Amino acid sequence: MKAIVCKAIADDIGTLALEDVELPPLGPGQARVRIRAAAVNFPDILTVQGKYQHKPLLPFTPGTEAAGDVIAVGAGVTNVKVGDRVICGGLGCYAEEMQLPSVSLRMIPPGVGYAEAASFTVAYLTAYVALVRRAKLEADEWLLVHGAAGGVGLAAVDLGRHLGAKVIATASTEAKRAFLKSYGADHVFEPHGFREKVKEVTGGDGANVIYDPVGGDVFDESTRCIAFDGRIAIIGFTSGRIPSISVNMPLIKGYSIMGVRAGEYGRKFPEKGRQNMFAITKLLAERKIHPHVHGRFPLARAVDAMRTLEDRSVIGKVVIEP
């Protein structure tokens, strides 16, 4: 089979190569999946560059989120069968096939395409843990989403609307801002100089919940338009700068700063983790959330797909279709 292979850690993701790879024999409890779509996530790039917390042994195949068809099962497998359409995850998704424990597979809801199924889990799980578990967003609260046109940002806009919040979004280009308005955001602003605009539309109170995957100057300005008893959910630092804050500010203004790591949340609280996964899959099955697939690339152009995330041109998610 064909797979994208990383043989050396490098800042230039162009060092990735499409190669012939042979999977080992299928073991007990395993299933082999023919990948139909694999989502591209920013951590995939960081992993190749050696900048992500998880550092797999070389060589490896990037990608941690995919969907496809079960084409073989090992001894003792009863939860899936050949022909099942499944969602899968774990390192190695940028390939024509992968094999993994069958218990890690989830069925694709009826009527949902492979691209949507492959690209919703990471983004919506992050949004769900941030908004529901950590910030406890309530209906009619003001939600400010930064980096709102990216994968995790757009999921927060979508989930926030479903939860009944009034959504303010920020994005870097006019095209992204126009899309966000059409997607249902109540107000859309540029990612700088938003402080007074947020205070104006919220009647001077500020945003109740701020969802921040950007950090840097965006975080700094966010602390000046957060409501009393507000919650700032820290998702990441795509700006490249990890901000800091004097703790007298949240003391005086009465707001909380909370970190969000959806995967770690599920590992610390396994039952809640299963509930989270069930909840977002149910929302997808009922078409109450609407993942947006911006672009599709063949496996041979995986690097091109990854570069669309590097140059910030993506709205929503990009998938590779082997």
Q: How do residues 241-274 score in pLDDT, each as one tens digit? A: 999 999 999 999 999 999 999 989 999 999 999 9
Q: Of 99, 95, 118, 100, which Cα lies nearest the Cα of 4? A: 95
User: Are 181 and 135 found together in one domain?
Assistant: yes
CA angle 131, 133, 138 (to 5 degrees): 50
The pLDDT, as a whole number, for residue 170 is: 97
The pLDDT, as a whole number, for residue 312 is: 84
Helix 121-128 crosses helix 151-162 at what angle (to 10 degrees)? 50
Would you state the structure tokens that stand for residue 239, as one six-digit string? 């700006």
Q: Is 254 exposed, middle or buried (0-12, 13-18, 19+ CB in 10 A)?
A: exposed
Q: Of 41, 42, 49, 46, which Cα lies nearest the Cα of 11? A: 49
Asked if the model's pLDDT at residue 299 lies above 90, the reply is yes
User: Are 74 and 109 found together in one domain?
Assistant: yes
Domain count, the chain: 2
Q: Does residue 286 form part of some domain?
A: no
Q: Of 248, 264, 280, at which residue does a domain stop?
A: 264
> Could you report the per-residue pLDDT of 117-129, keeping only the tens digit for each?
999 999 999 999 9
CATH of the domain at 146: 3.40.50.720
Asked if the model's pLDDT at residue 289 lies above 90, the reply is yes
**Distance between CA atoms of residues 87 and 70, nearest Å:** 10
The whole domain housing 28 covers 2-120+291-321
**What average pLDDT score do residues 86-109 get?**
96
Helix 151-162 crosses helix 174-183 at what angle (to 10 degrees)? 30
User: Are 112 and 129 found together in one domain?
Assistant: no
User: Are 54 and 152 found together in one domain?
Assistant: no
**What average pLDDT score do residues 295-321 get?**
94
Asked if the model's pLDDT at residue 54 lies above 90, the reply is no
User: Are 131 and 52 found together in one domain?
Assistant: no
Secondary structure of the chain in the HEC alphabet?
CEEEEECCCCCCHHHCEEEECCCCCCCCCEEEEEEEEEEECHHHHHHHCCCCCCCCCCCECCCCEEEEEEEEECCCCCCCCCCCEEEEECCCCCECEEEEEHHHCEECCCCCCHHHHHHCHHHHHHHHHHHHHHCCCCCCCEEEECCCCCHHHHHHHHHHHHCCCEEEEECCCHHHHHHHHHHCCCEEECCCCCHHHHHHHCCCCCEEEEEECCCHHHHHHHCCCEEEEEEEEECCCCCCCCCCCCCHHHHHHCCEEEECCHHHHHHHCHHHHHHHHHHHHHHHHCCCCCCCEEEEEEHHHHHHHHHHHHCCCCCCEEEEEC
Q: Does residue 257 form part of some domain?
A: yes
User: Are 114 and 136 found together in one domain?
Assistant: no
Q: Of 152, 141, 139, 126, which Cα lies nearest the Cα of 263? A: 126
User: Are 145 and 82 found together in one domain?
Assistant: no
User: Are 250 and 135 found together in one domain?
Assistant: yes
**Distance between CA atoms of residues 313 and 322, nearest Å:** 22
The pLDDT, as a whole number, for residue 311 is: 86
Mean per-residue pLDDT of the chain: 95
Residue 105 · residue 82 · CB < 8 Å: no
Q: Flag whether the pTM goes above 0.85.
A: yes
User: Are 161 and 48 found together in one domain?
Assistant: no
Asked if the model's pLDDT at residue 131 lies above 90, the reply is yes
Longest dimension (CA), the chain: 63
